[in-house]
Amino acid sequence: MTAQITDTFIFKDEIYSLIGITGDKLIHPSQFGMEPVILHTACYKGFYSTYELTDSSMILRKMTLRERQNNYRVIEGNKPIIKDYIATYYDLNIVVLFTGKIRLAKDFVEKLYVHMGYQKATAFETVVDISLENGKVLAINDRSEEVAEKRGQFKNYYESEYSKKVIEDAFSLDFKLI
């Protein structure tokens, strides 16, 4: 199995990886009449996106996908750039009325890389939980110190017990800290 590409967020002029989500779902290509299929082993869901979080909104900025029938649609006036059956939509400006929580992380610790699913909080130096309502930031909770105390626990779990449960945990974007 392969580590998965995550959605990314631009937040306070920094690039973060989405490593957890609860509440509403983020934008899906089906909302634009497209059905994603596996891009490659690092993207089983068939697409990934970049969002920007400002003080007042969440905005979809970019989306990359492979569409089942190569039926790439124009998204709000934006035509994709297509290369090898993979389309990327640049310069999107779609406000996302997301309500829920997202967990974002940056400063990945390379030696804690797990070659399956999504990287977990304990593999990053900086981890923040952000509560949103209709795309507006309500609260930011820095979890970095708490995660530092558990540094590497998911990798230890992954390496010590290969099972269906470990695989499910690796591919989950839940809010567990290990």
As averages over each run of 10 residues, the pLDDT of the chain (178 residues) reads 92 97 96 96 96 94 97 96 96 97 96 90 96 95 94 83 79 81
| Residue 1: per-residue pLDDT | 62
| Residue 63: per-residue pLDDT | 98
Q: What are phi and psi of 3, to 5 degrees?
A: -60, 145
| Residue 35: per-residue pLDDT | 97
| Residue 73: per-residue pLDDT | 96
Token pair 């290369």: residue: 83
| Residue 175: per-residue pLDDT | 81
**Residue 75 CB neighbours (<10 A):** 20
Q: In terms of Cα–Cα distance, which of 91, 156, 93, 92 is closest to 123?
A: 156
Here the tokens at position 130 are: 């952000």
Here the tokens at position 88 are: 């990327």
* Whole-number Å distance between alpha carbons of 21 and 145: 20
